[in-house]
């Protein structure tokens, strides 16, 4: 029997409806809308499209969106200075720095200029530590969106073998930490993994996040496994050989329409949470005394 196709758009709409109501409450109580500032460096067409989609979603969900475009010739210090100023702006609740950035810009330096309490995209080292250690902080948006998808389709990771293919600091690594926190047994794979087909064949949950079209073959998928394809490649192709995998998996995400919608929904959800309470991480507090200390996302 073919797999049930996970409807990411439907799950995202549920998150956004909740977020819209919370954003309206923030506006009623504070006199202003929760504000997400986006920073886009350069002229990458895909990045412009993503930022436009997020801006439109902000407006339809009751958030304010402020867009900052930086020339492709900008230096690391130019971008860091902008992000630092946004971090200090009390009228900005969350900051999204769109990536990739031009080669001359040090992405990590830019990310670390985001004060952790406004890191609603979950890209700083402080946020990764929070995901790994269960402390206060925001989750990386795509990994958090993946966890929403699993919950929406009643997939309890407890005791299941999850194989994550990909080790990026804002997708592969953090999704493994979130699955581990939910009592899954996690195996990380990457470009140097030996005998990848054998490891994938043992997975109850497969998270493909490597950025190589159809690297994960349908024949590798364990019957009745849950397949989460977080890849997005040219031609609307994911990292999983969908046509073959759909006949073996129990649940599978399409590309597009699977992981993507929940990523944006979580970004807005976390922006509203930042506006509601703030987050205390490290030495730069934005949380009032007595607020809860668990991770959000």
Closest residue by Cα to residue 115 from 141, 137, 134, 99: 137
Of 117, 139, 88, residue with least CA distance to 267: 139
In order of 52, 53, 70, 169, 234, the CA distances from 211 in angstroms are 22, 21, 26, 14, 10
Choose the catalytic residue: 98, 118, 173, 204: 98
Question: Does the annotation mark 239 as catalytic?
Answer: no
Catalytic residue among 33, 54, 118, 222: 54
**212 is known as an active-site residue:** no
Walk across the sheet containing 251-252 and list its strands: 4-5, 251-252, 226-229, 205-208, 161-165, 185-189
93, 119, 121, 204: the active-site residue: 121
d(Cα 22, Cα 118) in Å, to the nearest integer?
Answer: 17
**Under DSSP, is residue 162 helix (H, G, I), strand (E, B) or coil?**
strand
DSSP run (H or E) holding 130: helix 125-133
Q: Which residues contact 144 (CB under 8 A, 6 or more apart)?
A: 122, 178, 262, 266, 270, 297
Q: Rg (Cα) of the chain, in Å, rounded?
A: 19
118 part of the active site = no
Positions annotated as catalytic residues are: 54, 98, 121
């Amino acid at each position: 029997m073919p797999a049930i196709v996970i409807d990411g758009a439907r799950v995202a709409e549920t998150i956004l409806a909740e977020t819209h109501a919370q954003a309206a409450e923030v506006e009623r109580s504070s006199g202003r809308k929760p504000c997400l500032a986006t920073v886009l460096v350069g002229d990458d067409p895909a990045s412009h499209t993503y930022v436009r989609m997020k801006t439109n979603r902000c407006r339809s969900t009751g958030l304010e969106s402020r867009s900052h475009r930086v020339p492709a010739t900008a230096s690391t210090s130019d971008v860091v200075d902008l992000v630092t100023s946004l971090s200090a702006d009390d009228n900005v609740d969350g900051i999204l720095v769109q990536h990739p950035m031009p080669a001359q810009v040090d992405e990590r330096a830019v990310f670390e200029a985001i004060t952790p309490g406004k890191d609603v995209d979950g890209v700083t080292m402080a946020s990764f530590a929070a995901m790994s250690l269960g402390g206060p902080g925001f989750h990386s948006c795509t990994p958090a969106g993946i966890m929403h998808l699993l919950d929406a389709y009643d997939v309890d990771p407890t005791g299941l073998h999850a194989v994550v293919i990909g080790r990026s600091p804002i997708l592969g690594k953090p999704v493994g930490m979130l699955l581990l926190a939910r009592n899954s047994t996690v195996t990380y794979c990457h470009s140097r993994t030996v005998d990848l087909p054998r490891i994938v064949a043992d997975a109850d949950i497969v998270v493909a996040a490597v950025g190589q079209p159809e690297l994960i073959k349908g024949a590798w998928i364990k019957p009745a496994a849950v397949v989460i394809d977080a890849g997005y490649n040219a031609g609307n192709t994911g990292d999983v050989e969908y046509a073959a995998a759909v006949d073996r998996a129990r649940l599978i995400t399409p590309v597009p329409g699977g992981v993507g919608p929940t990523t944006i929904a979580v970004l807005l959800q976390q922006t509203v949470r930042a506006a509601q309470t703030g987050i205390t991480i490290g030495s730069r507090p934005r949380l009032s005394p007595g607020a809860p200390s668990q991770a959000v996302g």
